Amino acid sequence: MFAFAGNLLFFTVTNAAAGLTVGSEAALLWASILGPALAGILTAVVAHQRGGIHALLGSAASMPVIALFLLPGAWRTAIFAACFCTLGAAITEILLRQRTQAKP
């Protein structure tokens, strides 16, 4: 549920901020990268274990909400946001595992 809420929140905030500053397709692209990646990173930190799968399930559940309510008809952007949420969580989980395994 954290990834679902985080993905929606951070996507909405970055999309609104990008719309205020630039208002172009490039701004929407950055909004669908930065916000969901931050949501994925925070999901992996909060979940401690299997953060990548938590982010995958949460961001997959948030895809229809983004595509139907936040940006009506923008399925490509919703899928892109879900992928970056999962990617951010997976990379963070790998880095956290390496850090805990390196400790004696």
Residue 47 — φ and ψ, nearest 5°? -75, -25
* Per-residue pLDDT reduced to its tens digit, 6-63: 989 998 888 888 776 666 777 778 888 999 999 999 999 998 888 889 999 999 999 9
pLDDT number for residue 29: 82
What is the rounded distance in angstroms from the CA atom of residue 39 to the CA atom of residue 85?
A: 6
* Per-residue pLDDT reduced to its tens digit, 64-77: 999 999 888 889 98
What predicted TM-score, i.e. pTM, was given to this entire model? 0.85
Count of Cβ atoms closer than 10 Å to residue 1 Cβ: 10
In 3D space, the residue among 41, 46, 51, 36 whose CA is nearest the CA of residue 82 turns out to be 36
pLDDT number for residue 19: 73
